[in-house]
């Protein structure tokens, strides 16, 4: 890539960051009627102190027991009918609500895509046993929230001028693991149905996984049983960096499983880029160009037509 193009993409990334930091969601929707499954409190989260070494900083919210959806709506004249639910990262200890949330929503809005940032439940203060032992540690409650969120958005598609068959997911890091679970475990609801919303499909129509976390067994580097890819798994777009401390084999093995099952997929491995960067600039890296690749993928799938 030329120096001119690199500078252009870096400037574009900075513009996304500055604009998204100043923007409030258009709507905030409670995910559950009353208490979420198994919860005894309703806490929307505690915001951690920002890290001194981050410029610009990122916002992290922990101890969420009352999950919510934060809606970011494109202008009516730009709407394509496509929606994406965004699942930020944070190792299930917190959610990074701007760098891997609202900033991605702002990018999607620029394409005419309606975006919903899901503030799913995070690591409980008191240790609680996970009922499903196949699932990755701490993922059971977020999976419940993710399945509920997809069904809720699809059930209310007309409210936001959406096509109920054009609802996808975008996940970063631990949110990428969660999105991978949603992409592969839609046949089995992970909680007892609450109401008519839970009768609506929780299968994403497409998926975008950004440097997904812990999809493979650390000893064998093979995809674990938690992610049963089949011929019915949605089409998927994957992005990782070769030098990511969260091994790119997570994305590579997920892509291989998709390929082996005849599922349309696209995989991008960048030379460098590290981990947890969202849409922000990375020195000496083309990683921040992934939104352009994703836009092309969405366009070729017919998801950006007005």
Residue range 121-144: mean pLDDT, rounded: 91
Q: What's the confidence (pLDDT) of residue 124?
A: 87
Q: Which helix (H) or strand (E) holds 241?
A: strand 235-241
Mean pLDDT in the chain? 92
> Could you read off the pLDDT of 157-213 as tens digits, one per residue?
999 999 999 999 999 999 999 999 999 999 999 999 999 999 999 999 999 999 999
Percent of the chain at pLDDT > 70 equals 93
Q: Is the pLDDT of residue 13 over 70?
A: no
C-alpha 237/C-alpha 298 separation (Å) is 9
pLDDT digits (tens, 9 = 90+) for 35-49: 999 999 999 999 999
Residue-wise pLDDT for 243-277, tens only, equals 999 999 999 999 999 999 999 999 999 999 999 99
pLDDT of residue 19: 44
Provide the token pair at 18. Answer: 């500055």
State both tokens at 238.
Answer: 């994957």
Q: In 3-state terms, what secondary structure has residue 100? A: helix
Is pLDDT above 90 for 18?
Answer: no
User: What pLDDT is recorded for position 2?
Assistant: 41
Quick count: other Cβ atoms within 10 Å of Cβ 241? 24
Q: Residue 100 and residue 205: Cα distance in Å, rounded?
A: 21
**Section 113-133 average pLDDT:** 91
Per DSSP, helices labelled H in 130-185 are 140-155, 174-184
Confidence of residue 30 (pLDDT cuts 50, 70, 90): very high
Closest-CA residue to 182 (of 236, 128, 133): 236
Alpha helices, DSSP H only, in the chain?
A: 3-21, 103-110, 140-155, 174-184, 249-260, 290-300
Verify cis geometry, omega within 30 degrees of 0, for the bond prior to 56: yes
Other CB atoms within a 10 A radius of the CB of residue 164 amount to 16
Residue 21 has pLDDT above 90, yes or no: no
Could you give the dihedral angle defined by the CA atoms of residues 47, 53, 56 and 59, in that order, rounded to the nearest 10 degrees?
Answer: -10
Task: Please report the domains of the chain, with CATH numbers, ordered by start residue.
Answer: 3-300 (3.40.50.1820)
The values of phi and psi at residue 83, to 5°, are: -130, 150
């Amino acid at each position: 890539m030329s120096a001119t193009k690199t500078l252009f993409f870096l400037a574009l990334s900075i513009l996304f960051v500055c604009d998204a930091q100043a923007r409030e969601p258009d709507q905030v929707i409670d995910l559950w009627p009353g208490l979420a499954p198994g919860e005894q409190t309703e806490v929307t989260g505690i915001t951690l102190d920002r890290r001194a070494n981050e410029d610009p900083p990122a916002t992290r919210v922990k101890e969420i027991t009352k999950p919510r959806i934060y809606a970011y709506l494109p202008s009516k004249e730009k709407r394509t009918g496509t929606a994406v639910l965004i699942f930020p990262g944070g190792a299930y200890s917190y959610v990074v609500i701007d760098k891997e949330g609202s900033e991605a929503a702002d990018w999607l809005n620029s394409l005419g895509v309606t975006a919903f940032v899901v503030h799913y439940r995070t690591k409980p203060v008191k240790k609680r046993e996970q009922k499903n032992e196949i699932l990755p540690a701490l993922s059971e409650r977020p999976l419940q929230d993710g399945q509920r969120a997809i069904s809720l958005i699809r059930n209310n598609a007309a409210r936001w001028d959406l096509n109920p068959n054009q609802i996808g997911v975008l996940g970063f890091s631990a949110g990428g693991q969660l999105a991978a679970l949603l992409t592969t475990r839609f046949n089995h609801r992970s909680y007892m149905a609450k109401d008519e919303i839970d009768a609506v499909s929780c299968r994403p129509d497409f998926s975008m996984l950004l440097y997904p976390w812990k999809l493979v067994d650390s000893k064998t580097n093979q995809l674990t049983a938690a992610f049963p890819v089949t011929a019915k798994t949605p089409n998927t777009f994957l992005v990782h960096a070769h030098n990511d401390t969260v091994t790119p084999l997570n994305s590579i093995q997920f892509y291989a499983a998709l390929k082996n099952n005849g599922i349309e997929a696209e995989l991008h491995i960048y030379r460098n880029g590290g981990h947890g960067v969202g849409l922000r600039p990375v020195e000496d890296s083309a990683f921040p160009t992934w939104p352009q690749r994703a836009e092309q993928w969405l366009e070729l799938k017919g998801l950006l037509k007005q």
